[in-house]
Chains A and B, each alone.
Chain A
Amino acid sequence: MAPILEVQNLQKTFGAVVAAKDINVDVEPGEIVGILGANGAGKTTFVNMVTGYLKPSAGTIKFQGRDITGLAPRKVTMTGIGRSFQVSQVFMTLSVFENLLTALAIAQSPGTSMLRPLRRPELIAECEATLARYGIADQRDQPASQLSQGARKLLDIAMAMVSKPKILLLDEPTSGISVEEKFPLMDRVMEALKAANVTVLFIEHDMEIIERYVSRVLAFYQGEVICDAPPAEALADAKVQEFVIGTEVHRETHGGTVDA
């Protein structure tokens, strides 16, 4: 099977700062890839380039064989790549329901159908179903600004899924979420994504989450991919241990044995 995402020789420099150096990654359809790295290692820069928020300084990005390097975010979304954000990007003054309804309307109203009313029965039905699928139906009338972190992350991801992407990149989906909520949240998200047959890449700092869901790990350090391997192998790798795990949140937060 041809890779769904091919990244070749990707580079990004901001003046004297090298944020990404010679990144080469191929992702097969259906893979679940974890992206590790300390803060500033270049993970979000990578995601920003793949989703069009940043233009690479050099290199190519291909989606299903098609060159999408340098396309604007909205064009990237239309080809079939979606993303969630480290800081959830939702419509703060609208309610959860309105957020999702607006997202659905935008994603599914090409051209002149933009002039049709927002509150259409088909959209409303799909909105209700999506709210239930992501477990945020109870908060449907709350303004997004008043949601808990977890609920807002779920809304962010639900809105990203509205465009029916084939690949979804999640930027730290569990950051800021309490320990007890992390697993239930990720379980729900991964279940919904699996049902939709989506290839997933997510940036994560929590090793237990990585081990639980991921079939492959990309470890970043100073803009380069220093390891590309299944989780067990990656976590045992010497470079990963030195440059990545040393700065990560550990097992001890989940009640395991306390390491040094």
Chain B
Amino acid sequence: MWRDKTIVGLTIAAVVVVVVSFFLPSWLLNQALFGFARALAVLGLMVLWRTGLVSFGHALYFGGGAYAAALLSRYYEVTDFFVLLLAGMIATTFVGFVLGFIIRRYRDIFFAMLSLAFSMILYGVLVKTEVLGSTDGFAVSSPTFLFYAPEPGDEAKQALFVALVIAGWIAAVLVQMYLNSTLGRLTTAIRDNEIRVEYLGFSAEHAIHVKYVMSAALAGAGGAFMAMSLGQVDPDSMVNWTASGELVFVTILSGPGSVAAPFIGSLLFELLRTYAVEFLPHSWQIIVGATLLIVIFFLPGGVWSLLGRLRRAEG
């Protein structure tokens, strides 16, 4: 594991980021929290994208994970971070496993549409159900960590961020190891030629099912973190098709080049959004939309490929 340059790089970056985070102003720490929470979901989407599949409905798992954590927090007064995170992940992994049996048979636009339909089912249920908060959503209490109960606010956010970096590191390393394995290398093979993969004796559907469940678990974890960071959940920002669209946007923005890319892309997206909303409150969607078009037209490898070019230019 330690011979892999990316994993070494990730480890160093993780340590640096944690140390630096103690000195950041709280607004920036918030950005980092939201960005890295989203990055977990984007990591999963990146694996699917490399397999040639784009999900238009991952808000099902991102929002689903957030709501699972939030419901526990509200109705069972659970504040423990580990329980909330596990709840988010278990719920989404289970749903992903079940739905995976269905969705693994579909490709291209059908995969996208079916995933959209599934997520809109959850949205429809949440929006019309009082007990689940309907359109307003509800609040999530500040997390505690086993015996450590930080002050709600900056202290809790700091603790949450450290936990998030650790979780992100674990996720990125595991995904990297997966991508290096034969099963992981199949992503490109399946995307390129599924018929040949089948004729080599391997079930492409089986591989896709595994990747789908992985992405559901990652998105669920990200959602749980988001709920705890934001302190609240609501369907329009987390479960609606626009939320799925945002996740896909960040995936394209980050590019498929590395497991580190989603973290950089997500952070960039948060900063972009904050600044855009502040300086051009009625035009931040223009910026997001235009950026998406620019990336699609001129930068298919995303931001990560841009960094690669800069590194090669100086090195």
Do the two chains belong together in a single complex?
A: yes
Using a CB–CB distance below 8 Å, which chain A residues touch chain B?
51, 72-74, 77-78, 82-83, 85, 89-94, 102-103, 105-107, 109, 113-118, 159-160, 162-163
Give the distance to chain B from A168, nearest Cβ to Cβ, in Å: 12
CB-CB under 8 A from A113, the residues of chain B are: 182
Contact: A91 with B196, CB < 8 Å?
yes
> Total interface residues on B, using CB and 8 Å?
20
B202 interfacial contact with A, CB 8 Å: yes
Contact: B181 with A159, CB < 8 Å?
no
A-B contacts besides A89-B196, A91-B188, A115-B183, 17 pairs, CB < 8 Å? A51-B199, A74-B203, A77-B198, A77-B200, A89-B195, A91-B192, A103-B200, A106-B186, A106-B197, A106-B200, A106-B201, A109-B182, A114-B182, A115-B178, A115-B181, A118-B185, A163-B200
Mark out the residues of chain B between 204 and 232 whose CB falls within 8 Å of any chain A CB in the assembled complex: none
Contact of B198 among A72, A118, A159 (CB under 8 A): A72
Bound complex: CA of A90 vs CA of B182, how far in Å?
17
B283 interfacial contact with A, CB 8 Å: no
With A89-B193, A90-B193, A106-B189 as known contacts, state yes or no: A162 contacts B182, CB within 8 Å: no
CB-CB under 8 A from A77, the residues of chain B are: 198-201
A102, closest chain B residue (CB): B189
Contact: A90 with B181, CB < 8 Å?
no
B180 interfacial contact with A, CB 8 Å: yes
CB-CB under 8 A from B198, the residues of chain A are: 72-74, 77
Contact: A118 with B182, CB < 8 Å?
yes
Contact: A74 with B189, CB < 8 Å?
no
CB-CB under 8 A from B183, the residues of chain A are: 114-115
Give the distance to chain A from B305, nearest Cβ to Cβ, in Å: 15
Bound complex: CA of A114 vs CA of B189, how far in Å?
14
Bound complex: CA of A170 vs CA of B192, how far in Å?
21
With A94-B189, A106-B189 as known contacts, state yes or no: A116 contacts B199, CB within 8 Å: no
Contact: A107 with B200, CB < 8 Å?
yes
Contact of B180 among A85, A90, A117 (CB under 8 A): A117
A-B contact pairs, 20 of them (CB 8 A): A73-B195, A73-B198, A83-B199, A89-B193, A89-B196, A90-B196, A91-B196, A93-B188, A94-B192, A103-B200, A106-B182, A106-B197, A106-B200, A116-B181, A117-B181, A118-B180, A159-B196, A159-B200, A160-B199, A163-B201
Contact: B196 with A74, CB < 8 Å?
no
Contact of B199 among A82, A91, A114, A115 (CB under 8 A): A82
